[in-house]
Amino acid sequence: MNMLAPALRAAEAAPPPAKAGGMAGEDMAMIKLAAAIGRELAAYKPAVYWADTLASAALGWGALAALILVPDLPLAATAALAVVAVLALYRLGSFIHEITHMKDDSVPGYRLGWNIVAGIPLMIPSFMYEGVHTLHHAKNRYGTARDPEYMALALKPKISLPLFVAVAALGPIGLIIRWALLAPLSLVPPVRDFVRARLSALSINPDFRRDPPDGPAMTRWNVMEAATSTLVIAVLVAVATGVIPLRAFGIWLAVLSASMVINQVRTLAAHLWENDGQVMTITGQYLDSVNVPLPALLPELWAPVGLRYHALHHLLPGLPYHALPAAHRRLMAELPVGSAFHGGNHPALSGVIARLWASAGTAGA
């Protein structure tokens, strides 16, 4: 908290931020230029996706294996391996966001490959986000009660913010219950309806209810659900029978928990969370979202795979992550300082969190 103190004092001294949804109209110059740049940079580079994904998998799973298999390492080496495992697996898991936006032929075979090396062993198969995250980008849903990924955190009691982060620490336990217990129970139709609607989406809106997909997407869902459930049950049986030591199981859970906490902190800084449920303009959605561009370097760790350009992503949701830095540079260079585009840029995580804390109410704090 001491590191946040200067930014917190500045945010609390500033006047209450205006709601992004209150803008009278669109910044058409920004929108038109972004669309033109998006068309120029829209090509996916499969080699980049595969190289980044496989390198992240090798680093993450390799570091985790070393933590488990070499118990007598010096403390400094153990800490270094833990940091590498958490950050690399967090980066690896973040590619689920890319999968939700890409067409099947954008990076051939990528969905299957990612689910094998990441989605299933991390207990977040891609169907948990596919067909859900795109609703967050719908112009008539963003920031409303029908948005699966929005909570007006800036309008809630301050206690909501630490609780929002703390609950992520229990994420691995929740996922184990979902896959090892509720997935088999969902063979019973009433349970199945509940699991599909309430427990089959990576969402933060507690009122969101998911409609299951049809056709090939439903087939993929069933295959991924069966594979993830089988893996988790097998791990639990192996732990119960001593095949997998309890220590190894605990390390796996701790690494996953840490990565989920980082992602939850990143989620806090993805938006300003100031909309009160009204439908917003595209410009309003952009200004309620957050870019943390260069020269800041730490966002490459806590907001990987293009997530540091989250506001820009809301302007150009179909742009591949490797094209976002170039798009941002061009928009910064070609739009005047008074453009709304500059308003979506924030210098650091601390300032965004401090603004959110200052905006949040005091009831229950």
In the chain, the DSSP E strands lie at none
**Is residue 236 exposed (0-12), middle (13-18) or buried (19+ Cβ within 10 Å)?**
middle
Q: Quick check: is 124 in a domain? A: no
3-state helix, strand, coil in the chain (%, to 5): 65, 0, 35
Rounded to two decimals, the pTM is 0.91
* Full domain range(s) for residue 222: 2-48+130-359
Q: Quick check: is 95 in a domain? A: no
Low-confidence ranges of the chain (pLDDT < 70): 1-24, 362-365
pLDDT at 338: 86
Q: How far apart are CA 324 and CA 306, in angstroms?
A: 7
Q: How far apart are CA 68 and CA 71, in angstroms?
A: 6
Q: Quick check: is 322 in a domain? A: yes
pLDDT at 71: 86
Q: Quick check: is 67 in a domain? A: no
Residue 132 near residue 203 (C-beta atoms within 8 A): yes
Q: How far apart are CA 287 and CA 145, in angstroms?
A: 19
Residue 117 near residue 54 (C-beta atoms within 8 A): yes
Q: Quick check: is 152 in a domain? A: yes
Q: Quick check: is 225 in a domain? A: yes
Q: What is the dihedral of CA 318, 321, 322, 327, to 10 degrees?
A: 60
Q: Quick check: is 181 in a domain? A: yes
Number of compact structural domains in the chain? 1
In 234-307, the DSSP E strands lie at none
Q: How far apart are CA 68 and CA 248, in angstroms?
A: 5
Q: How far apart are CA 194 and CA 218, in angstroms?
A: 16
Half-sphere exposure of 300 (CA within 13 A, CB side): 6
Q: Quick check: is 59 in a domain? A: no
pLDDT at 362: 57
pLDDT at 11: 35
pLDDT at 10: 36
